[in-house]
Amino acid sequence: MTMAPPPATADEPDLPLDDVDATLNGLLRDVRVKAQTAHGAIQRMLVAANAATARLRDEQLQSIWEIESPVLDEMRQELGRYLEEATSFVRGTPALHDRMGDEVTRIVDLYVRCSADWPVPTDTGADLLHRLERLEPLFCDMTYHCGLVTIPSRVSQHLRQLRVGQRLDMAATERVLGRFLDLGMNFVDKANVYSHGTSETYLGAALARMGRRNDVVLATKCGVPMSDAPNDGGASRQHVMASVDASLQRLQTDHIDLLQMHRYDAQTPIEETLRALNDLARQGKVRYVGCSNYAAWQLTDALRAAGAAGFSPFVSSQSEYNLISRGVEAELVPVCQRFGVGFIPWAPLAAGFLTGKYRRDQARPADSRGGRRPYWFFDRWVTDHNYSRVERLEQFATDRGHTLPELALAWLLHRPAVSLVIVGASRPEQVEANARALDWKLTEHDVRLAVEAAG
């Protein structure tokens, strides 16, 4: 694969910022398609690499690039096709090239070296995988980089959330939920796809047995496919209406307090989705509506469409955000502040990496999320750079008489846009430990120092 130099842009205007509707719609559609292609290709490449890593241990090879795996080779070819297309697009768009051009160039160079000399030296392969790990969330959120203006605003903050029932049986769900409610917290986040509906079923049964449905703000999501059936996923009216009815039955309730679209559906007009959500609100099945994993422009477009039609607007936006993953600060968080949308961070502890239980050059705890099985969502955090960040952050917390998880949660709760934090727990003592973050009131000076420690 060859790379042409970036086109000259002296006489080419940059993306205009004053007329988004008129000038960016075509570009945004193109970006969305390429972002989804990028995310899928890189994610599958990383999954294949994780599987190959397991073979390293079994066969005592020196590098994953020594494995002539048909699956890995297919991922390599797919990534190559994507890089050629996306690189041309990025280089031809000044606003994108300024932000991502150098990193894409380095990745393409590494890819060319890997393809030309297969197997390649361990350090070259490792460098490529490290950069792909960093590029995956960047291109997943590629649509952020299209010139939308960011304007500051304000939103309140609370720690009032728990996720239960995904990996717990009924008895454990009741114990964790009971302790959570006894500590005065009340926001419970679910999704129909979690454990393929079992998570909602356990939660609904636990609340009914405990008689505490009115003590919680009950949130769930729909949109991620529940099966391979064509109408069993997405944000169409048919799927949204059917999903809500099914969730109400599993949750044993007559209404959902906050229904969130789990991810953006490029195949369904946003107006169709919003009309379905508005009808559900009018029927009393849903109190409020929100979104999850939307880019800044997607949220902005949804708010515009809801306002124009008089539909119920999104009141919340949920995305990944923590001390070592802060990409949403560029545009999504400011959009939430500008329009008064509550921001809900997920992965506040980076899938457990910010708990401090994972140590450099030490085996992962067998009973931990990262130790149970190869898992790309967790493994993407495991880099030397992130280990160094965690070590600095842990020292920062220890010097002030707190734990690393308390710092991670307290820092998020101090952010002006954050309304609440999604905190998972499988034992009552984890609920208690998470709740202690409420007692740490960080100063502005502490916030700056924590960001510096995070690097």
- Report, as residue numbers or ranges, the catalytic residues: 194
Which amino acid makes up residue 128?
L
- Asked whether 206 and 250 are in contact (CB, 8 A), the reply is no
Interatomic CA distance for residues 158 and 153, integer angstroms = 17
Nearest-5° Cα angle at 355, 353 to 359: 65
User: What is the three-class DSSP state of 2?
Assistant: coil
Residue 108: which of 126, 124, 91, 128 has the closest Cα?
128
Residue 380: which of 424, 360, 350, 409 has the closest Cα?
350
Residue 360: which of 380, 378, 385 has the closest Cα?
385
Separation of first and last alpha carbons in the chain: 34
- Look at the block and give the residue holding tokens 């160079």: 109
Which amino acid makes up residue 186?
N
24, two tokens: 């960016």
Interatomic CA distance for residues 198 and 296, integer angstroms = 31
